[in-house]
A and B are shown apart, each in its own frame.
Chain A
């Protein structure tokens, strides 16, 4: 029984990761590569030694080379691989929420589960920390990771209270949880100056949010479909 739900998560996660990975290669990675050219001109790319463009323009800026995938096929393969793993990870988190909330997930309401996941993992964090291209100024990494993670938790809790609780006071608490991250405020970058053109950054924001919407909608619908397909009722 446990295995059946976990298997559903693996299948839904692989489908979502494959779709999102393909979208990333098509719409998102070209923007990252374009931004890296500016990142390198910027000279702020200190602890970063991964792209060939960087190696080319910064011949020996950082000589402590750690392994990084070669540009081209290898880098693309890692994009696909990491998206498959991330898809399965997101799927486990969705399955956990479905199980612990005691709700059902079906092909029909899968879109709504997916929408909730998109708001939690993409839209809410993006309101404070806009999707970030290489070379854009940013505050301390650990502070941003902390804000990102706190925002995910607060938003997930807020949506759960609003949707699943009948009590008005608890729903109100849910709304408070949704606004808290931006009342606290995300860590600010030290400067607003960036060598990366604004158009490139805007393009990146739209395409990454589209990619994350694709992730979560495919996840929700395919998990609902897999768990409710004829035959899955048989005792597992």
Chain B
């Protein structure tokens, strides 16, 4: 464990912890992005319609 500065706790994570956390976060984030921005179902589209336009993803 090498901490360069006490105020950067994120740096103090081990490489393995970083890897696991990173992959879990990547999967969760991708899942939510697809749900809000890309999911093809009409209900999902209608619920997220204005937000899809506002976050500038292709909507219809």
Query: Which residues in A have some Cβ–Cβ distance to B below 8 Å?
Result: 1-2, 5-6, 9, 20, 24, 28-29, 32, 47-50, 66-69, 75, 78-79, 81-83, 85-86, 88-100, 102, 104-106, 121-122, 125-126, 129, 131-134, 138, 141, 144-145, 148, 208-209, 211-212, 215, 227-228, 232-233
Contacts and interface: CB of A to CB of B under 8 A. Distances in A.
B57 A148 contact: yes
A170 B32 CA distance: 31
A78 B19 CA distance: 34
A97 B10 CA distance: 12
B6 A233 contact: yes
Interface of B: 6-13, 15, 17-26, 28-33, 35-38, 42-43, 46-51, 53-60
A9 B47 CA distance: 23
A141 B24 contact: no
Given A88-B32, A99-B18, A215-B55, 11 more contacts: A1-B21, A6-B25, A82-B51, A86-B55, A100-B22, A100-B26, A102-B18, A106-B8, A145-B57, A208-B56, A233-B12
Contact of A104 (B8, B26, B59): B8
Nearest to A228: B7
Contact of A29 (B33, B54, B57): B54
Contacts of A233: 6, 9, 12
Contacts of A86: 32-33, 36-37, 51, 55
The A contact surface, by secondary structure, is helix
Contacts of B21: 1-2, 5-6, 95-96, 99
6 contacts: A24-B51, A24-B54, A79-B50, A100-B26, A148-B57, A233-B9
B2 to A, nearest CB: 12
Contacts of A132: 53, 56, 58-59
Contacts of B8: 104, 106, 228
A164 to B, nearest CB: 14
B56 A212 contact: yes
Contacts of A212: 55-56
B35 to A, nearest CB: 7
A95 to B, nearest CB: 4
B24 A2 contact: yes
B36 A82 contact: yes
B32 to A, nearest CB: 3
B50 A75 contact: yes
A23 B56 CA distance: 14
Q: Which 8 A-B pairs have the closest CB atoms?
A: A89-B32, A92-B29, A99-B22, A93-B29, A68-B46, A144-B58, A96-B26, A100-B22
